[in-house]
Amino acid sequence: MIVKHWSSLPEQPVLHVGNCQLWLAWLDEEDPASFQNILSKDELLRAGRLRNYRTADRFRVARGILRTLLGRYLAFGPEQLVFSYGPNGKPELAGGIKRGLSFNVSHSGGMAVYAIANGFEVGVDVEEIHPINNLEATASFFLSPDELDEFQGLPVDRKLERFFTLWTSREAILKAFGFGFSNPFWDKLVMPHNSSSQSGWQNQLFENKRIFMLNPAEGFKGALACL
């Protein structure tokens, strides 16, 4: 699954039913002021409540790019889009202009990844790989017994990357369903041992669903879940 820079999106993108497209943005490389006029009052208020200036700027840019991308797909002005939110905060288009599109966004370390799909729900997660204190203990808390057995058998220099592969996969599938992080299904989400770059998701809960491993840039791991 290829992730393209958002600036390469054409003015009139084509997204056929059953397809999903991924877009990447480096939030710190964009000018927050350039998106000021297309954000809603609620978005501007949310940004204003953030105490960290960089976090606030990243939020403005991330939402501005999301509006720009969706506006292109829907042939709407980005400022015209209205969002609603599920019980766990998953955003979706409101106001009768969804037209079969679903979307999801994730950002970490200044990178944002956007998934836009036609005809099915999606969840995307991206994480900057960073050291984790007590990695073994963290893994034992979040991984299933089978995953933990595999994880513990890996060489030390492969464990951190594998942990983030498993983590982002869980996050993506939960986001696709609109579940929260604390959902009881978390511990039932089990990745196959031999997951490849385009691996199928197979378990008792999500048989025939699809999950794709993402490597959007050096030092990042991600996953896309399609329901």
- Condensed to tens digits (0 to 9), the pLDDT of residues 83-134 reads 998 888 888 898 777 788 999 999 999 999 999 999 999 999 999 999 999 9
Q: Find all residues with CB under 8 Å of 172, minimum gap 6, and list them.
A: 123, 124, 125, 211, 222, 223, 224, 225
What b/e sequence results for 175-214 when a residue is b if at least 16 CB atoms lie within 10 Å of its CB, and e otherwise? bbbbbeeeeeebeebbbeeebeeebebeeeebeebbbbbb
Please, are residues 59 and 46 in contact by the beta-carbon 8 Å criterion? yes
The pLDDT of residue 90 is 84
Q: Which domains are present in the chain? A: 3-120 (3.90.470.20), 129-226 (3.90.470.20)
pTM: 0.88
Compute φ and ψ for 142, nearest 5 degrees.
-100, -25
Q: What percent of the chain has pLDDT over 70?
A: 87
